[in-house]
Chains A and B, each alone.
Chain A
Amino acid sequence: MALAGQDTQESSLRYAPPGANRELNSSHRAIPSVTSDNEIIRRSWDNPAVFAEIYDRHATTVYRYAARRAGVDTADDIMAETFLVAFERRNRFDNAFESALPWLLGIATVLIRKHRGSEARFLRAVVASGPPATVVENHDDRLDADISVRAIAGAIRKLPARDRDALLLYAWGDLDYEGVALALSIPVGTVRSRLNRARRVLRLSAGITPAKEVDRGRTTTAPIIR
């Protein structure tokens, strides 16, 4: 693994050289029917204008991820800034990956860290007065959820930044282990240990005992990794 250090992304916008994570890619087997992100980005090396298509495809997803982490006010800026950074770094994108989303969410994550104040304020507000709105399908779960969402927000706030990033890229960015690894330029094994640690903290603060169901839920939602 070319990028062995676990936290080189901590202080600045740095990414692994393309190829570093290449062997991680295997579950993203999109069957090509339209031009894929990597083709567009490759073309944008020479023809920058085509890069706007990447924005059209992913701006909303980046926004939603940013809004859940740092609130809607900051999300507008992070959405816009993410694509400016991505454009400047477009020849660093690893073309072996068809989707640009992990890469974009990785950039957004670094930007959110710069807006750390917003994220902290947002989480403090949730802890103090509950979530802005909670969607829980099962009514029986609602009470339980309202209480534990506040507990969870408190736990997220206290997590070390690197564990928080991995957890929220996984849960809110909807990336799999490989996607999180790519986004943060860290090995998959490191993603797994950060997620395990973060989930343990979460479980404890939300008062969830690791019952059998929990264990099963975990192994079916977590991709098997090397």
Chain B
Amino acid sequence: MDELQQLRSFGNDVADPSIDAVGRGRRALVERIAAQPAIARPNPRKRIALFSGVSALAAGALVATLVFTNVLGLAGWRGGADAAAASALSDAAAAAIESSDPVVGPGQYLKVDTEAVFEGGGQTADRENFAYLGTQNSQLYIPADHSDEWVLVTEPRTAIKVFGEGFEEEAQEAARATFDKEEISRAPYGGFYNSKHRDWRLDELPRDPQRLLNYVYRVTAGHGVSADGQAFDFISTTLRTGVVPAELRAALYRAVAGIPGVEITDEAATLNGRTGIAFGREEKDGFLHEIIIDPDTGLLIGERTVQLVDSKLVPVFAGEVTGWTAVTTTVVDEAPAGGSLCGNGGEPVNGLGSGRCTDPDRPQTD
């Protein structure tokens, strides 16, 4: 045992904070947040629905006292999506069940192609704020046998839109800082970068829409801006993995129909060249969160976020689409060659599950 191991073992059995202490700290933060005027002002040109949804904290308390099972839960008694959205979601669910999932034969791969755009921002040395939209594209190849090597191709990131003039360079630099060249990683069970096995735990999700929604409310309780928004976010995040089987996808669509505030926000939303119906929910945080579904096939096209207020710090205005993810899932016979567990040649650092690798581009000076 070296001195570092000894130091690490010293006090590593320290208990987690008490629920009281965590609650006190959170309340102090929430009070501080409330005392601070929001930097953004609602834009009067764009109506923002005010939801009477219970706050995340109150929902947490409610859930803790009322909900013990997925059968008796929040779903249902708070209302649901508006009628048109609920009906279209039901149709999409029916279409999803009718279209069969692609079958991955021996030696083949399920390929999940994700084209994503996120909003980044930063502050220059002169304390000027800037914001940009950056890409975050990747292709994941999942082998028929999960113990075979999975392959992840990560594309270099780039800023595709910069808000405000004169920050082009900073934006590109910021976007590239996390990823500046294509990288191929491979690992059994999807444990890329020395991380744990990839498991979306989809088997744990109930297939009955009502129980599923109760489950979602239960596991997301106390997080996010509102209980309904967090439930919507959970479902959208689950769907965009691109690996959700048809029957679960159908159940998730029907569960969305049970979330108050969800409405059809765009009859013909186009993402990545594909057009579908956008189902969205305006959140108190000033963003519209949408999922876009192909009504004919019940396939998820992707998800999208629209800002509803003008930013004060950066020139990002109401109506701006500030992020999206387009997901395409297909079956392919081959995955790209090359790469390693740690991407382009790095080595694992602290053993399995640490999620750390050395960087091959950095000469070792030790």
Contact = CB atoms under 8 A, between A and B. Distances in A.
7 closest residue pairs by CB, A with B: A80-B25, A46-B40, A68-B11, A96-B177, A47-B285, A63-B17, A76-B21
Interface of A: 2, 17-20, 22-23, 25-35, 38-39, 42-43, 45-53, 55-56, 59-60, 63-64, 67-68, 72, 75-76, 79-80, 83-84, 87-88, 91-92, 94-96, 98, 131-138, 141, 144-145, 148-149, 152-153, 167, 171-172, 176, 192, 199, 202-203, 206, 208, 213-214, 217-226
A152 B33 contact: no
A39 B17 contact: no
Interface in B78-121: 116, 118-121
B39 A79 contact: no
Given A42-B121, A50-B225, A136-B1, 19 more contacts: A19-B124, A25-B177, A26-B361, A29-B193, A31-B152, A34-B237, A46-B39, A47-B285, A49-B284, A59-B17, A59-B26, A68-B11, A80-B24, A94-B122, A141-B1, A203-B3, A208-B2, A218-B4, A221-B4
Given A171-B8, A206-B3, A224-B364, A64 B16 contact: yes
Contacts of B2: 203, 208, 213-214, 217-218
Contact of A46 (B38, B116, B343): B38
B33 A48 contact: yes
B225 A27 contact: no
A132 B13 CA distance: 10
Contacts of A72: 14-15
A73 B178 CA distance: 38
B197 interface: no
A157 to B, nearest CB: 13
Contacts of B40: 46-47
A133 B356 CA distance: 29
Interface of B: 1-18, 21-22, 24-26, 28-30, 32-33, 36, 38-40, 56, 116, 118-125, 127, 129, 131, 136, 138, 152, 154, 170, 173-174, 177-179, 192-193, 222-225, 233, 237, 241, 284-287, 309, 311-314, 323, 343, 346, 349-350, 355-359, 361-366
Contacts of A53: 223-224
A45 B121 contact: yes
B28 A22 contact: no
B349 A49 contact: no
Dominant SS at the A interface?
A: helix
A189 to B, nearest CB: 8
Given A84-B29, A91-B313, A144 B1 contact: yes
Given A84-B32, A225-B362, A52 B56 contact: yes
A89 to B, nearest CB: 11
A60 B16 contact: yes
Contacts of A55: 25-26, 29
A74 B198 CA distance: 37
Contact of A52 (B17, B33, B364, B365): B33
Contact of B358 (A27, A133, A148): A27
Contacts of B56: 52
A10 B24 CA distance: 29
Contact of B3 (A46, A199, A224): A199
Contacts of A59: 17, 22, 25-26
B123 A17 contact: yes
A170 to B, nearest CB: 8
Contacts of B355: 30
Contact of B118 (A39, A88, A131, A152): A39
Contact of B125 (A2, A46, A144): A2
A203 B2 CA distance: 8
A141 B284 CA distance: 55
Contacts of A141: 1
